[in-house]
Structure 1
Amino acid sequence: MAADSTQPATALLTEHLQYTPLSLIDDIINSVNNFIYQGVGSLEAGLVSTPPERLGFKPVARDNGEPDFSAAQQEIEEGLHQLETLLNATVDRNFDKFEIYVLRNILTVPADLAPWVQLSHYHGLEYPPPKEAATAEQVQLLRQKLAASRALSRALAQRQAQNEAILNQLRALTDPASPDNIAFLISGGAAQTLNVSAERSALTTNAAFTMSQLPALKALLATLRSQMAALAEARSDQINEHGAREENKQERREYIGQRTQMQLQRHRGALPDEAAVLPGGPLAMGELQALEKVAHAFDPA
């Protein structure tokens, strides 16, 4: 049987192994390269820590007479680099052969066997699917409906919890043991006078009666608002009129005072402003009538 290296065989192996065949070989080669790097690194550490004399290097005398091993250090670095290059080339050459052998003889599916291979997760599936099978669009629609149903269920559960909390608060209002109870509204003397009780029928009747009175109360409130506005305007006008009358009276008093002083000065002479008593005889009838006319002119009422 000839091996099939085409795309269907590679896809079949990838689906079965959960990784591509080539990635397995690459991991093996990378592991070998890591071992090479670790070995070269350990060898370098050992050579550097060993005295050059023990490695067979001869020192070069400096001008001051001290030995110089710089040539030994350079030779060690060059030798390690050549060794690493040689090992990498050897690994590449041999593992290329290994890759070809594995892909052709191990990680492969025969060409005449590939169409008959069925993986375990395909057991029980029919292909092509029957006509009555759900389409991809129908499955997607069902998923959307399921997600919407779950969201609605969560919202309803949250609303139920909120309603339960409100009911607990309302129950506490009618509990005599609660400090914030309002049980007196349905159990006190005033409640008995108004025929208010905790029975459901009585509460329903009272609530219906209260709701029926709301339109009349709203109409009455609107009427009262308009009347209050009219009263406010009338009060403002009255205040303005009263102020105008007071101003006219003040002007009349000042005018009468001025005319009186002029008449007194004409008949008796000038009088000081600070005089407590104004000397002189009574006014004549004509003068009094003139003053009355002036007063009526400023205050017709």
Structure 2
Amino acid sequence: MANPKQIENLLLTEHFRFTPITLIDEIINVVNERAYHATDAIEDSLLNADPSILGFGSRAAAEGRIPDTDDEGKPVFPEAKLEIEEGVHQLETLLENTVDKNFDKLEIYTLRNVLTVPEDLVPWVRLDHYKDLTVPSSNTPAPSPEALQLLRRKLQETQKLHAALLAEKTRNEALLARLRSLLSPRPAASGSSPTHALNAEHSSPTRQNDSSTDAGVFAFLSHGPAAQNLGIVPLPTTTAPSTLHEPISTHTNFTLSQLPALRAQLTALRPYLATTSLPTKSAAAGGAEAAEAARERRDYIESQTRRVLERRGVDVRNGAAVEGRRMNGEEVRALEEIVAAMGGQNREPEEGADEGDRMDTGD
């Protein structure tokens, strides 16, 4: 079981949306960050200051040392940077210890006297999101499975009834719209009166569209001259049926309404048209160079192909073509061996004839 202090912390956490110790930690982190910024500023100012002003020159004179000088003749103290860094580090450590010591006291005081709720008031505290909340007592029996199943069925039937009522509402709205269209005259053409449009409906009913044949059939009951003489208040003209049955006119009107905005956009974009949308001369020159490179490559490939064909004995000067099927390497080697054998047989008789001639004519 949780002790009273844990219950108090849970109550404060639920009220503030964060734990009380989180607030103290944030305060300590902010103070430490400011202390770090202060020590960094002190270190930068000391490193940028002249070491002679900080007393390094006096200490060197007291020790009898002659400091080195830089190119401008100023004395140089290499130990100054190291001592400044060590001193700033000690100062930073001292500040951290001081902050931790004092803010530990702040943490204890705040948790005991500020962020606290008296133990006797904890059971009586009611947070804002607990208002109008009925908490079941311990004596209330747990619902049985049969009761849960009954509630589940009631919920399902309620959802079904809700869906049926929505569907009935949609059907009733459609029926009312159709009845209003029967009592409302068709939209008159521009320049014509409603009475003229009503007379035109009854004089030439065959000219109307089949889909809107029933629209305005009983309009004379509320919009005719007799109805006006009797003081019958006509129904307001609805444009929903015409919108439903005339999509072409609706789209045309919408397109025409957008033309001024399109003209304004075109006027605004016209100055950028020449530099952004159209290809420039450099792009055209690049395309010409690419085409020239492709043509040179084709010429090179064609010349190399001709050279290879000429080496193999194919006449390509007049565009001659070699007829016949493609021969593989084994067939070519077999033909070469046959030609070599035939050439050897022809060469042997010629050599024998030459030797006989030499013997006949020899001395």
TM over 0.5: no
State the TM-score, normalized to the length of structure 2.
0.36
TM-score by length of 1: 0.43
